[in-house]
């Protein structure tokens, strides 16, 4: 029943009572008195006073300073703080034309598991076959790598030997040239001196041969004279001639040898010296060029061996990586629970995906199931754009769950979306907000409805009244204050509010009794002038006022 209707009913009842009491005597006088009583009742209502036992049905509230928590209440649904998705990490190695790897075994949906429990197993036959072949390929690559490594070490030794020999040849050629060119004790100098000594010896021998020749000539002359005189025989003469001829031949031979040694000495001074000089210099240049060639050849051979070793190393690395991948793939055929929680099968994302079951193939990276941690939960809710500036990460929240209304959990605002949620059915802008429950919970399930009371502010020691005591008409706010047997209407100025109380900044004092059911006071005249009026909205509404109750039925 509306306020105006209540007032009108009271007035009509009074009028009827007055008529019954005055019936039968002086109708005109009693009619006049009755009219005056009705007028008085209207005036009392309009000017803010009310008397008599009609105040017994009014419910009052004593105004006292109190602390006012400012909250934003939103509904949402529960979800796990750590909902780990389990994906298929096995590649498709099968050649049967079926896309994916079949499920051999999977734990029943909704099962509670501990971290490390086996929850799913995929077919590993094809991967095991690939792994066996890859083991052989890896061993062959390792053998080739070891051979290339040995070849590289051998090449290094061969290069060092060849370079040392080439350097030795260069040093020998340089020393031989220096020995030939030395002016005091060089090989050429010593050879010249040896020939000079032979010439000197020949000169001495020539002098001895010349003296011997003269002796043999004198001896032959004397024998010839004795032969002519008959004092010497024919044989003695012949021997003297022979000795003379031998001495003459020996003298001539030594002269020839002297000429030869002189010619040899001259040749060594001119032609042999130049020839040996050129030969030794050429030998040195040849040794130096050979050293350079050896160095270049060694470098090329070493680079070739190093390149071969690098190739074998990369090949072995690839084979080992492929082997490790096959082993990893084989291990991933058995899927274990990443955390404590409850198994939740994934829903098909497309027409080509089937329900998760044994024998069903799953594609690589396909979502198989999830493991939400049911001990750590959070609420996904949305805040209206009108209170978005008040809701910030870090605010404390009281969380209640519809399924367990007697329990209250402490939470914290984790995040507030930057962009609003899109909706094709409404123009209302809401922003996704995540509220974490700060304690471990039990018996809560994902999807349950939860109510979040976000504590955006806390105002201590202020005068407040219940919001149903406020009457709003034509941009004005007032309350009815009871004082003894009278009721007075007071205009008030309002401040912040929550869902139950609103701050009165002006118009009330501590100890005032405000009427909580002002609808029982409003009269017919007021009702007639304000029947279609609504509580102000937008800029005229007091800040934070959630609702205005002007009916006694709201107190129920």
Chain position carrying tokens 């005091």: 184
- C-alpha to C-alpha distance for 75 and 379, rounded to whole angstroms: 9
pTM of this prediction?
A: 0.53
- C-alpha to C-alpha distance for 181 and 190, rounded to whole angstroms: 11
- Mapped onto helix, strand or coil, the DSSP state of residue 52 is helix
Give φ, ψ of 213 to 5 degrees: -65, -45
User: Is the CB of residue 378 less than 8 Å from the CB of residue 80?
Assistant: yes
- C-alpha to C-alpha distance for 432 and 484, rounded to whole angstroms: 52
CB atoms within 10 A of CB 420: 15
- C-alpha to C-alpha distance for 100 and 366, rounded to whole angstroms: 9
Instruction: Give, to the nearest 10 degrees, the angle between helix 3-22 and helix 27-46.
Output: 160
Kindly state the tokens that stand for 349.
């994302």
pLDDT score at 39: 39
**How far apart, in Å, do the first and last CA atoms of the chain sit?**
13
- Mapped onto helix, strand or coil, the DSSP state of residue 343 is coil
Cα distances (Å, whole numbers) of residue 407 to 398, 401, 479: 10, 7, 36
Closest among 202, 181, 70 to 496, alpha carbons compared: 70
Chain position carrying tokens 């399924």: 403
Cα distances (Å, whole numbers) of residue 141 to 136, 310, 314, 323, 324: 9, 12, 9, 12, 15
- C-alpha to C-alpha distance for 100 and 88, rounded to whole angstroms: 9
User: Is the CB of residue 379 less than 8 Å from the CB of residue 451?
Assistant: no
User: Is the CB of residue 333 less than 8 Å from the CB of residue 127?
Assistant: yes
What torsion, rounded to 10 degrees, do the Cα atoms 265, 269, 270, 276 define?
110
pLDDT score at 54: 60
Bridge-based pairing state of the strands 118-122 and 486-491? unpaired
* Element of type H or E holding 201: helix 187-229
Domains and CATH numbers, the chain: 3-71+459-555 (2.40.420.20), 72-80+372-454 (2.40.30.170), 84-121+333-369 (2.40.50.100), 130-331 (1.10.287)
Q: What residues are paired with 381 via a beta bridge? A: 76, 433
Give, for all 556 residues of the chain, the pLDDT tens digit: 333 333 333 333 333 333 333 333 333 333 333 343 343 444 344 444 444 446 778 899 999 999 999 899 999 999 999 999 999 999 988 776 778 899 999 999 989 999 999 999 999 999 999 999 999 999 999 999 999 999 999 999 999 999 999 999 999 999 988 888 888 787 877 888 888 888 888 889 889 988 988 998 888 888 888 888 888 788 888 888 898 899 889 889 988 988 888 888 888 888 888 888 899 899 999 999 999 999 999 999 999 999 999 999 999 999 999 999 999 999 999 999 999 999 999 988 777 778 999 999 999 999 999 999 999 999 999 999 988 998 999 999 999 999 999 999 999 999 999 999 887 777 889 999 999 999 999 999 999 999 999 999 989 999 999 999 999 988 899 999 998 888 999 999 999 888 789 999 999 999 999 999 988 887 533 443 333 333 333 333 333 333 333 222 222 2
Which residue pairs from 136-143 have beta carbons closer than 8 angstroms and sit at least 24 positions apart in sequence? 137/319, 137/322, 138/316, 138/319, 138/320, 138/322, 138/323, 141/312, 141/315, 141/316, 141/318, 141/319, 141/320, 142/316, 142/319
Give φ, ψ of 482 to 5 degrees: -90, 130
pLDDT score at 238: 87
């Amino acid at each position: 029943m509306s306020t105006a209707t209540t007032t009108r009913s009271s007035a009509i009842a009074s009028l009827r009572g007055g008529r019954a009491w005055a019936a039968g005597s002086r109708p005109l006088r009693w009619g006049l008195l009755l009219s005056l009583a009705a007028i008085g009742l209207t005036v009392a209502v309009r000017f803010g006073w009310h008397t008599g036992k009609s105040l017994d049905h009014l419910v009052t509230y004593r105004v006292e300073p109190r602390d006012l928590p400012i909250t934003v209440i939103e509904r949402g649904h529960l979800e796990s703080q750590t909902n780990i998705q389990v994906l298929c990490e096995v590649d498709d190695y099968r050649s049967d034309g079926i896309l994916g790897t079949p499920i051999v075994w999977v734990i029943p949906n909704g099962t509670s598991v501990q971290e490390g429990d086996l929850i799913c197993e995929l077919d590993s036959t094809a991967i095991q076959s690939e792994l066996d072949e890859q083991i052989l390929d890896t061993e062959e690559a390792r053998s080739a790598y070891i051979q290339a490594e040995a070849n590289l070490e051998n090449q290094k030794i061969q290069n060092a030997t060849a370079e040392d020999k080439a350097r030795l040849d260069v040093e020998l050629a340089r020393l031989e040239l220096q020995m030939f060119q030395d002016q005091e004790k060089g090989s050429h100098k010593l050879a010249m001196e040896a020939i000079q000594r032979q010439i000197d010896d020949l000169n001495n021998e020539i002098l001895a041969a010349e003296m011997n020749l003269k002796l043999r000539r004198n001896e032959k002359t004397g024998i010839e004279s004795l032969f002519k005189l008959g004092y010497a025989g024919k044989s003695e003469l012949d021997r003297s001639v022979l000795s003379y001829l031998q001495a003459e031949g020996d003298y001539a031979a030594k002269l020839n040898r002297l000429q030869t040694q002189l010619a040899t000495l001259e040749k060594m001074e001119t032609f042999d010296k130049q020839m040996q000089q050129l030969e030794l210099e050429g030998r040195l240049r040849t040794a130096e060029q050979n050293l350079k060639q050896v160095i270049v050849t060694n470098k090329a051979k070493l680079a070739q061996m190093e390149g071969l070793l690098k190739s074998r190393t990369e090949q072995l690395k690839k084979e080992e990586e492929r082997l490790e991948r096959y082993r990893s793939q084989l291990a991933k055929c058995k899927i274990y629970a990443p955390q404590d929680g409850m198994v939740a099968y994934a829903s098909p994302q497309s027409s080509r995906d089937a329900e998760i079951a044994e024998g069903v193939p799953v594609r690589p990276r396909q979502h198989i199931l999830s493991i939400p941690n049911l001990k750590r939960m959070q609420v996904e809710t949305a805040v209206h754009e009108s209170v978005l500036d008040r809701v910030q990460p870090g605010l404390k929240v009281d969380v209640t769950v519809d399924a367990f209304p007697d329990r209250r959990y402490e939470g914290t605002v984790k995040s507030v979306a930057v962009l609003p949620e899109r909706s094709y059915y409404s123009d209302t802008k809401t922003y996704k907000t995540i509220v974490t429950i700060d304690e471990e919970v039990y018996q809560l399930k994902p999807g349950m409805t939860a109510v979040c009371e976000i504590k955006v502010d806390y105002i201590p020691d202020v005068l407040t009244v219940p919001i149903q005591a406020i009457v709003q008409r034509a941009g004005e706010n007032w309350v009815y204050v009871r004082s003894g047997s009278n009721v007075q209407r007071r205009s008030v100025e309002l401040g912040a509010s929550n869902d139950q109380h609103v701050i009165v900044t002006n118009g009330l004092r501590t100890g005032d009794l405000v009427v909580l059911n002002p609808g029982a006071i409003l009269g017919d005249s007021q009702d007639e002038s304000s029947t279609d009026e609504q509580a102000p909205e937008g800029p005229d509404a007091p800040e934070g006022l959630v609702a205005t109750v002007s009916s006694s039925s709201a107190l129920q």
